[in-house]
Structure 1
Amino acid sequence: MHLFARTERDSLTSSPRRQHLPGRSTSRRSLLAGATALIPLAYAGTTSASAYNPTENSHRLDAAQKLRDLETRLDGRIGVHAINTGTQVRFGYRSTERFLFCSVGKVLAVSAILHRAASDSTLLTRHIPIAADDILAYAPVTSQHVGGSMSVEDLCHAAITVSDNTAANLLVEVCGGPGAVTEFVRGAGDVVTRVDRTEPTLNDADADLDTTTPSAFCTTLGNLALESVLTPEHRLRLTTWLKANTTGADQIRAGVPDGVTVGDKTGAGSHGESNDVAVLWPTKGSPVILSIFTVSSHTQDTALQKEAIAEATRIVTPIVLG
């Protein structure tokens, strides 16, 4: 059973827009499409059509304008989707447009492993050899085990908490390849997100390969971290690793109010992509799922990209945290 009902407003089966890349001019038509797509969400604070609230609506329109201003600073796009899992209050901005997911996709491979572990009790303790030619440019953990091996569980930990690329590739191989991860995602109810390649090529924009939408990934992360796609034991493993992530201090974690616990996974590409997806546990109330995807023409300004995610978090969380 999945907690997050699909509505016409943020259906995973809607037709996602293709990614607009930095350096490519954005047409007036696409800008209008983005603005038009926002308006229903700005007026729809809950899943109830009768829940119109002028004050809340004003806050949503104000948030949308702030996100547009932030896009101007980035010279790019921002896609946001947030869901309060208790009240079902949600907010979206460009939430059905496609973005490269980059390393946030490691959550999917790790979750596919955890799902399989429910029926294979030895999977997580199985050891995978680490060869020298497996090691990619960013492999801070696996590079220490060349000529040896690591358990599947330790590879999962490395893939989530430090975003080790070699660990992620080995896990995808254990799953049976990118297509097997996509098949798992489909089984989790996501008909939008697609996993086509491994590190590092999945970070290269090529049509819709290795893309998702903020709405789709937000819903899927919620179903993986909080719902019955995974067993309680394996959900606990996943959320523990997300909370232990070391790569997101300057992004969603920097933008949430004091006292909110964050479990997140970041991702970044070499062409201005910077993403963060998270589960937020406030001191009171239900968890909130938040996904933020960005692409900027300022491809070398990683500080700007990270601050944009932190600022987008500050803009959106007052609406959904309650």
Structure 2
Amino acid sequence: MKKLLLLLGLLASSSVTYAAKLNEDLAAIEQHIGGRIGVSVWDTQNDEHWDYRGDERFPMMSTFKTLACATMLSEMDSEKLDKNATAKVEERNIVVWSPVMDRMAGQTTRIEHACEAAMLMSDNTAANIVLRSIGGPNGVTRFLRSIGDGATRLDRFEPRLNEAKPGDKQDTTTPNAIVNTLHTLLEGDALSYESRIQLKIWMQDNKVSESLMRSVLPKGWSIADRSGAGGFGSRGITAMIWKENHKPIYISIYITETDLSLQARDQVIAQVSQLILDEYNTI
């Protein structure tokens, strides 16, 4: 028993030491980039939480797309929205970065297909089609309130929601709030089992985040994620990682208020991801 207590004490001490070092590292990166970093980590294996500016607001950017598609899936679960619902892709509604819907102008698409395009390719027109089918940005916010997220809010459509103006609460979340919500969506009872699986598959099949956390993910780990980019040097990623014999770890990383290029922001997200993942590489 004494040996067990000593071991538990050493593990707790190691965790505290790691957290203190990570705080120092993130503060140093912040100083270097001249902006803010927000991080939240929830290891459900041992129910350990850690955050850095976890309750401060950060622009969601395209990480909102997971929440919009979850709202759509919830409405399909409750039969408020037909599973085969469709919408016309109006040419006048095509917005910047729409690699899928750009080729479908004038055609009809299933709302579920629009979600797939939004999640896998971050297609902005597809995301707007989904939003219009669920009551707009306010529909997402209402859904989030109904599942216990009192912080995250969506106010605008693409691409305006990516403005990321410092101090503006529109279209923002907190690192802690979105990590908790991801857990609720992927492992809680907010969605049906089939919808939870579908949301996870879309996140696993993300095609636009290879330069971020995926680039430093240790061998043997799997990832489901959604990334975002916006004004004022903003970038973000929300993810669930897991491996055999280890329950999911939920992670959110946001940076904002920088003058960094997109490539430099990607490098910062990867660097912060590496610092976090180093803790779990030996598990």
Instruction: Return the TM-score normalized by structure 2.
Output: 0.91
Who is 1:260 aligned against?
A: 221
Who is 1:146 aligned against?
A: 105
Is the CA contact 2:128–2:157 (under 8 Å) kept in the aligned structure 1?
yes
Is the CA contact 1:90–1:320 (under 8 Å) kept in the aligned structure 2?
no
Who is 2:265 aligned against?
A: 305
Q: Within the alignment, does 1:82 sit opposite 2:41 as a pair?
A: yes
Shift in Å at residue 255 of structure 1? 2.5
The superposition leaves residues 2-42 of structure 1 with CA deviations (integer Å, 9 ceiling, x where unpaired) of: xxxxxxxxxxxxxxxxxxxxxxxxxxxxxxxxxxxxxxxxx
Who is 1:271 aligned against?
A: 232
Shift in Å at residue 52 of structure 1? 8.2
Who is 1:60 aligned against?
A: 19
Provide the rounded CA distance (Å) in 2 between the counterparts of 1:147 and 1:70: 47
| 2:276 partner letter | V
Provide the rounded CA distance (Å) in 2 between the counterparts of 1:143 and 1:226: 34
- Which stretches in structure 1 are left out of the alignment for 5+ residues? 1-49
Out of 84, 94, 100, the residue aligned to residue 59 of structure 2 is 100
Out of 163, 173, 179, the residue aligned to residue 138 of structure 2 is 179
- Bigger drift between 121-130 and 270-279 goes to 121-130
Shift in Å at residue 122 of structure 1? 6.6
* Equivalent residue runs for 1:195-274 within 5 Å: 195-204=154-163, 205=165, 207-274=168-235
- Three-state SS of the structure 2 residue aligned to 1:53 is helix
Q: Within the alignment, does 1:317 sit opposite 2:277 as a pair?
A: yes
* Equivalent residue runs for 1:273-288 within 5 Å: 273-288=234-249
Is the CA contact 1:91–1:319 (under 8 Å) kept in the aligned structure 2?
no
Provide the rounded CA distance (Å) in 2 between the counterparts of 1:55 and 1:108: 35
Instruction: Return the TM-score normalized by structure 1.
Output: 0.81
Provide the rounded CA distance (Å) in 2 between the counterparts of 1:197 and 1:107: 15
Shift in Å at residue 310 of structure 1? 1.1
Out of 67, 86, 95, the residue aligned to residue 127 of structure 1 is 86
- Three-state SS of the structure 1 residue aligned to 2:71 is helix
| 1:60 partner letter | A
Is the CA contact 2:234–2:258 (under 8 Å) kept in the aligned structure 1?
no
Provide the rounded CA distance (Å) in 2 between the counterparts of 1:51 and 1:195: 43
Shift in Å at residue 64 of structure 1? 1.0
Shift in Å at residue 71 of structure 1? 1.3
Aligned residue-pair number: 272
Provide the rounded CA distance (Å) in 1 between the counterparts of 2:175 and 2:81: 34
Shift in Å at residue 298 of structure 1? 2.0
Provide the rounded CA distance (Å) in 2 between the counterparts of 1:186 and 1:320: 32
| 1:163 partner letter | S
The runs of 4+ residues in structure 1 deviating greater than 4 Å are: none
Q: Within the alignment, does 1:170 sit opposite 2:129 as a pair?
A: yes
- Which stretches in structure 2 are left out of the alignment for 5+ residues? 1-8
Shift in Å at residue 85 of structure 1? 1.6
- Evaluate the alpha carbon distance shift between residue 214 and residue 320 of structure 1 in structure 2; reply closer, same or farther with a 3 A threshold: farther
